[in-house]
Amino acid sequence: MKFFYYLIFLSLHILQSPYMVKGDKRLIESTCKATPSYNLCISTLLSNPKSTSGDISDLGLIMVGATKAKATQAIQQIKSLYRSRPELRHSLNECAQMYMAVVKADVPSAIQALDGGQPKYAEDGMADVAVESQACERSFSGRGQKSPLTRKNKDIENVSNVARAIIRMLL
């Protein structure tokens, strides 16, 4: 008789699994609809397999991680530009410092805040990232230079704003 109940339980569990994944995708879709960039949000979250098994806090953590990845890419691009574009070194140095602050301070503090159930501090960290990306861009225009990081800066600003919007849902 135990075996019979086990089979029923197992069958129900298997039948519910696809529904649960659909439910999680619905959570992603409804969450992303409340952000400033639905398409960026959807593509970022669905590219991470953990997104379909988490809650809003987990989705926020995934977006914070995406923000860190973009900032790390910016640092690598800055290093490359530093060698090939010596006339931009001053502005590149400023940007490198800003993005190092993102990677070493803003992102870790946002993760810690989310893990600790303090989303307001995580939101503040992501707001700082957007400010840093804008300041990087201004460091070039303030010297009459054309920024080679315009697209990267905008990408970082956008992903951090999506992360911030998701985190704000936890407040």
Instruction: Check whether 9 has a pLDDT greater than 50.
Output: no
pLDDT class of 10 with cuts at 50, 70, 90: very low
**Which CA distances in Å does 20 have to 10, 13, 54?**
15, 10, 11
Q: Has residue 7 been placed in a domain?
A: no
Q: Has residue 30 been placed in a domain?
A: no
Share of the chain above pLDDT 70, in %: 87
pLDDT in tens, 15-51: 333 323 344 799 999 999 999 999 999 999 999 999 9
**Mean pLDDT, residues 74-83 taken together:** 96
Instruction: Check whether 150 has a pLDDT greater than 70.
Output: yes
Range of the domain at 114: 54-171
| pLDDT the model gives residue 24 | 78
pLDDT in tens, 49-75: 999 998 999 999 999 999 999 999 999
CATH classification of the domain holding 165: 1.20.140.40
| pLDDT the model gives residue 11 | 38
Q: Has residue 14 been placed in a domain?
A: no
Higher pLDDT, 6 or 92: 92
pLDDT in tens, 86-120: 999 999 999 999 999 999 999 999 999 999 999 99
Q: Has residue 28 been placed in a domain?
A: no
- Provide the whole-model pTM: 0.85
Q: Has residue 47 been placed in a domain?
A: no
Q: Has residue 119 been placed in a domain?
A: yes
CA separation for the pair 133, 120 (Å, rounded):
20
Tell whether the torsion through CA atoms of 118, 42, 134 and 80 is positive or negative. positive
Q: Has residue 9 been placed in a domain?
A: no
Number of domains in the chain: 1
| pLDDT the model gives residue 142 | 86
